[in-house]
Amino acid sequence: MAKETNAQRKARLIRLIHIGKNEIKMPESEYRTLIANVSQGKTSSKLLNMAQLETVLRHMKAQGFQVAVTTTNGQVSQQDQSAQQRKIRSLWLELHEMGVVRSPAESALNAYCVKYGGENWQNDVITMRDLIERLKRWKARFE
């Protein structure tokens, strides 16, 4: 993968800031005030330098914005996952190390979870608990 240039990084940070503004439902006036406070009077994120953009993004994360990472297959996985999602991932990787699961990929895990938990498995605590128990039973059969 090619190294990200400064211009690409700046464009990505600006996109993340705009996504964050919408996700946390930040009013335009509050957004403009934040930009002005960080930059000593500038009114547009395009005018900010890298350090200022990162400061704005940190502020939005503190307000509840969660950055989603797109995997190579186009699926989105949250960096800040719940404890249950981390446990599911951990069990999946253990099964892979044991040779039970062929692929450690996020897409393979997601396909498994959709098959046994449904499309919205990540939004249902009970379904995630059931998936954890299913993976534990699967692991126990091979220990």
Which of 141 and 120 is assigned the larger pLDDT? 141
Out of 20-24, 28-32, 137-141, pick the least confident: 20-24
Answer for the pair 138, 95: CB distance below 8 angstroms, yes or no: yes
- CA–chain centroid gap for 132, Å, is 20
Q: List pLDDT tens digits, range 64-81.
A: 887 766 555 555 555 446
b/e burial code for range 73-86 (CB count within 10 A of at least 16 → b): eeeebeeeeeebbe
pLDDT in the model for residue 41: 87
Mean pLDDT of the chain: 86
Q: How far apart are CA 91 and CA 80, in angstroms?
A: 18
Instruction: Give mean pLDDT, residues 17-31.
Output: 90
Tokens (6 digits) for 94: 């253990």
Q: How far apart are CA 32 and CA 41, in angstroms?
A: 10
| Residue 77 DSSP class | E
Q: List pLDDT tens digits, range 84-118.
A: 888 999 999 999 999 999 988 888 999 999 999 98
pLDDT in the model for residue 92: 93
The CB density around residue 97, as the number of other CB atoms within 10 Å, is 10
Share of the chain above pLDDT 70, in %: 89
